[in-house]
Amino acid sequence: MANVTVDLSGFEDLLKKTQELQNNISSLNEEITDNLAQHYLAEAIANTPVGAIAISPDGKYRSESEHMRRSWEAERINDTTVKVQNSASYASYVNDGHRQRPGRFIPVLGKRLTKSFVKGLHMQEKAEAATRRASDKIMKNALDDYLSTWSK
């Protein structure tokens, strides 16, 4: 008979590390949701239109400022939820499109409206689609970063 000894201390270390992961899952969730929210914000801001500041002839009105682009914000609800929104009052009209009355004179533009419906730019949908495409990579990178601390 051969004398065989088996060292199971590696399994005990693995058990300790997995329990540690279970205890720190909320911080890992927060890191992942923060990264997802940052990616969403970057895409939404990049897709938000902006132009030069135009002042009407009488000097009262401004148009095409960066207000809507600067109005994107993220708010943490809990460790697995981040609310991303645009607080500009007209953001939903630019995103979804809107009706208008053809022939109406707009002083800021200095001309009359010609179309009855302006198509939306769908900034939110584009940002959501880009974040969904990148989500696997973002989650994998966060988990890999966390697991890299195990070998230390």
One-letter amino acid identity for 41?
Answer: L
Question: What radius of gyration, in Å, describes the C-alpha atoms of the chain?
Answer: 26
Question: What is the pLDDT at residue 60?
Answer: 59
34/28 Cα distance (integer angstroms): 10
Residue 109 placed within a domain = no
Residue 43 placed within a domain = yes
Residue 115 placed within a domain = no
Residue 7 placed within a domain = no
Question: What is the pLDDT at residue 63?
Answer: 56
Question: What is the pLDDT at residue 109?
Answer: 74
Taking the CA of residue 73 as centre, how many other CA atoms within 13 Å lie in the half-sphere pointing to its CB? 8
Question: What is the pLDDT at residue 53?
Answer: 60
C-alpha pair distances (Å), 118 with each of 44, 67, 110, 113, 122? 20, 20, 18, 10, 12
Residue 85 placed within a domain = yes
- Dihedral sign computed on CA atoms, order 91, 48, 32, 75: negative
Residue 1 placed within a domain = no
Name residues of the chain where pLDDT drops below 50. none
Question: What is the pLDDT at residue 72?
Answer: 94
Other Cβ atoms less than 10 A from the Cβ of 68: the count is: 21
pTM > 0.85: no
Question: What is the pLDDT at residue 2?
Answer: 75
Residue 143 placed within a domain = yes
Q: Which two tokens stand for residue 14?
A: 């693995």
Question: What is the pLDDT at residue 54?
Answer: 62
* Number of separate domains in the chain: 1
Contact between residue 73 and residue 87 where contact means Cβ atoms under 8 Å apart: yes
Among residues 30, 18, 1, 54, which one has the least CA distance to residue 150? 18
One-letter amino acid identity for 109?
Answer: L
Beta bridge partners of 72: 86
32/65 Cα distance (integer angstroms): 33
Residue 8 placed within a domain = no
Please give the residue range of the domain that contains residue 127. 23-91+123-151
